[in-house]
Structure 1
Amino acid sequence: MYLLENFLSDVFNIKSIIMALITVGLIAIMMVLTYMLAPRSTKLPRRYRLVIDLVEAGVVIGGVVLLRQTFWVLNAGNVLSWGYAIAQLMILLFSLYAMQNIAVTLVNLAMPVFFYGQALYMGASWQWWWLFALMLLVLVGVIGYISHHQALVLKSEWRFLGLQLLYGLAWCLIIWSVRPFRLFYIVNVLVIFIIYMWIIRFFVTRVNRVIAHFASLDQAANYDELTGVRNRANFDTTTVGVFGVYQRHPAMPITMAMFDIDHFKYFNDDYGHLAGDAVLKHVAQHFNQELLRQTNHGELFRYGGEEFVIIFENTEPLEAQRIVTAIRDTLQHEPVNLNGKKLNVTVSIGISALQTTDLNFDSWFKRVDHYLYLAKEAGRDRITVEGDTQKL
């Protein structure tokens, strides 16, 4: 009974309540951060997604440091408390479920190593190093499984319970390997830890549902269902903003490229509408992927039918020509495969920069559309840049 009272007094006291409030606040911040960044990060180039991953990992590390410093102050330089340990484990495990990125996974993997190394540096015995090594392997397995099967774990209550038990038990034994305590405490720690994490699971699943719901709404409203690229409605919204930016910063070049799939009616008439859909999807995804690989300043839209538009910010027409020509050239080496047949696809392109004489967006758009018309009239598989038509 004395052990239980001693444990409860360590976990449930005014200092622990303060720590609990800070922990809840940190979890709330991470939930908001996840809600704000998750839907956007998937649409960004890889290097920007990496920056977001590092920001999220920094928030987790900052949260752990804040917890430690707060407890350090509250306990006059002492952080040996089960209340602090439980709070830290909650932050780490919540980040693993909510943020779902490699940087946060690495933070979770690094924390036990950091803890063990710090304990040895402060004079702890390494007598039980083999126990630490064994529990570290268990943690690596649990963290790796959660990272790759997050949705499955949250969906299954028993799988969730089993992984929480393994995670909490491994951490308890890692702590025991350098700071021995009565093993009776493990049961109490695991019970409290599981209860807290069950509550957190409730909120994580709902946040994930909200994110998925808004992502689906955004996808339906702004992205073409067939090709997966931005649609006409998103184009109209974007161009309003682009025109406004140009009016404020006329020195910044903004270029539009419009391209059309040559003889698209031929694919529909000779191979059927499913072939036409396959060609549209292939061309759109190829341009979108290559555009992301070659520049950070271009956005692709399906304007309608077989016609697509790319808006290049801070890009001169000749640079836009170089980019779309390079993408078109790679397209020639990747024909559409349809029932064993290879369908070669060519495009015609018109390019023009936004000019100070353009009083509105329509005058710019009509000029680009006219240049596309000139490219098609010249025999297709052509590009017209500011009125100059060339064979691709």
Structure 2
Amino acid sequence: MVEFSYYLMLSIFFMLGYTMLFQQLFRVSQRRLIKRHWLQRSQLELPAALFTCLVVLVLRVFSQQLTGRVYWFLINLHFSVINYTAVMVESSLSLLLISIVAFILLASTGAMFSPWSWLFFVLVILVLYVQHLRIRQFDRHPVLYWILPSLMGPAIWIPLYLVAGHAWLMTPSAIFSLCFNYVANMLLAFWYTLQLHRERQLNSKFAQAARYDDLTGFQNWNAFRNDFESAFRRVSVTAPLTVATIDIDWFKQLNDQYGRSTGNQILVTLTHNLNEALAASGLDYRCYRTGGEELTVLLSNTTLSQATPVLEAWHHAIRDLTIVVNGVAIKLTVSLGLTQVRPEDRNATTTFQRADWNLYESKHAGRDKLTAI
């Protein structure tokens, strides 16, 4: 009983530390993606997935020289880490990496010794893949996130014991201990993840705040990333998609000179003006605030040649716009970069980076320019 409690406490502390580091990597990656304007989910998850692979390989090196219960205790931690990660990631690349590491782990234990072992491994991966496809929103399905991974532990250990338990000197009490530890690991990991998720959600009182910028009313970066990837997949010859990136010229200097409240008023006025101009054009559009002074517009069912005149007219109108804040008249200019999704674009990031480059060209040419390529 003392040994059982000892291993249980060790596994719980290890799993809690691993989960905290995993979630922290996610947050760091998210900030990095926003800064670099990357859109793909795989780019967000890759550092965390690679971290998991590293943890599993390090654990395997340590367990290689061990025997008895300590050995199987470490193998159990391998399974816990792999299954937690497989549920939390959404990209196919991340799931593929985890599947490869899981196979290496099982093969190194000598478990892949028969066709039944291979069949069982394939079934486990299929279950993870189905869950990966069907359960995407943690806040809506937290229990479903926990059920399948928790059942996976007993589903792995019990068949292994029945097939090769005597050869590996495993006892029913050892199997019970491993299953119990595994379920406890999953409970703790997903409980912590759920608490962390709810804490982040509480930063916004209403669900709308998860997608919308409080100041401008435009949708935010996370909403843009999801919407753009979805719209990119629907692009066709009859359903073109154009992207416009907009930056307020010398906004930092305006903020420094007149104060942050004035900067906020400039943003509110400008975004309201942009929304009115696009609404009057009749184009199918959605506006986003994707950075401090950076705005992005998605124009569905719109070609570059259709979008350019509308945004050129707005661009010229901004030159004539005067914003009066606290009795001070402020003149503005903006720089724009436009592009249309092309057949050769590998993904949404490729298109967005081209729009971003066009914006850079506008600023490099002296600002107050529109570049459409």
TM-score (norm 1): 0.52
Q: Given residue 84 of structure 1, which amino acid in structure 2 is its aligned partner?
A: L
Structure 2 stretches lacking a partner, 5+ long: 224-245, 257-269, 317-329, 336-361
Deviation, 1:112, is 3.2
Structure 1 stretches lacking a partner, 5+ long: 245-257, 268-274, 303-307, 309-326, 336-343, 351-364, 371-382
- Equivalent positions of 1:275-314 (< 5 A) are 276=280, 279=283, 282=285, 284=287, 300-301=294-295
* Residue 320 (structure 1) aligns with: none
Report SS of the residue matched to 1:347.
helix
Deviation, 1:67, is 2.7
Change (3 A) 1:39 1:57: same
Picking from 221, 226, 251, the partner of 1:239 is 251
Change (3 A) 1:299 1:54: farther
Change (3 A) 1:282 1:367: closer
1:151 & 1:217 partners in 2: Cα distance? 17
Change (3 A) 1:164 1:51: closer
Report SS of the residue matched to 1:151.
coil
Deviation, 1:298, is 12
- Equivalent positions of 1:96-245 (< 5 A) are 96-120=86-110, 126=113, 129-148=114-133, 149-151=135-137, 155=141, 157=143, 159=144, 162-172=147-157, 175-176=160-161, 180=167, 181-182=170-171, 185-214=174-203, 219-221=211-213, 224-226=216-218, 239-240=251-252
Q: For 1:203-241, what per-residue CA distance to the aligned partner results, in whole angstroms no more than 9, with x for missing partners? A: 1112222334458757544674356579xxx97899328
8 Å contact from structure 2 (residues 86, 95) kept in 1? yes
- Larger RCO, structure (CA 8 Å, separation 6 or more): 2
Asked which structure has the greater CA Rg, the reply is 1
> Once the two structures are aligned, what percentage of the paired residues are identical?
11
- Equivalent positions of 1:1-392 (< 5 A) are 9=3, 11-13=4-6, 20-38=12-30, 41=33, 45-46=37-38, 50-71=42-63, 75=66, 81-120=71-110, 126=113, 129-148=114-133, 149-151=135-137, 155=141, 157=143, 159=144, 162-172=147-157, 175-176=160-161, 180=167, 181-182=170-171, 185-214=174-203, 219-221=211-213, 224-226=216-218, 239-240=251-252, 276=280, 279=283, 282=285, 284=287, 300-301=294-295, 330-333=303-306, 345=310, 347-348=312-313, 349=315, 366=331, 368=333
Q: For 1:281-331, what per-residue CA distance to the aligned partner results, in whole angstroms no more than 9, with x for missing partners? A: 61747xx9xxx9xxxx997427xxxxx9xxxxxxxxxxxxxxxxxx9x933
Q: Given residue 141 of structure 2, which amino acid in structure 1 is its aligned partner?
A: K
TM-score (norm 2): 0.55
RMSD (CA atoms): 5.3
8 Å contact from structure 1 (residues 168, 193) kept in 2? yes
Q: Given residue 115 of structure 2, which amino acid in structure 1 is its aligned partner?
A: W
Q: Given residue 301 of structure 1, which amino acid in structure 2 is its aligned partner?
A: L
Q: For 1:75-109, what per-residue CA distance to the aligned partner results, in whole angstroms no more than 9, with x for missing partners? A: 4x888633212222222222234444444322332
Deviation, 1:140, is 1.6
Q: For 1:339-388, what per-residue CA distance to the aligned partner results, in whole angstroms no more than 9, with x for missing partners? A: xxxxx9463346xxxxxxxxxxxxxx947369xxxxxxxxxxxx9x7699
Q: Given residue 332 of structure 1, which amino acid in structure 2 is its aligned partner?
A: S
Q: Given residue 368 of structure 1, which amino acid in structure 2 is its aligned partner?
A: T
* Residue 325 (structure 2) aligns with: none
Deviation, 1:59, is 0.8
Change (3 A) 1:241 1:30: farther
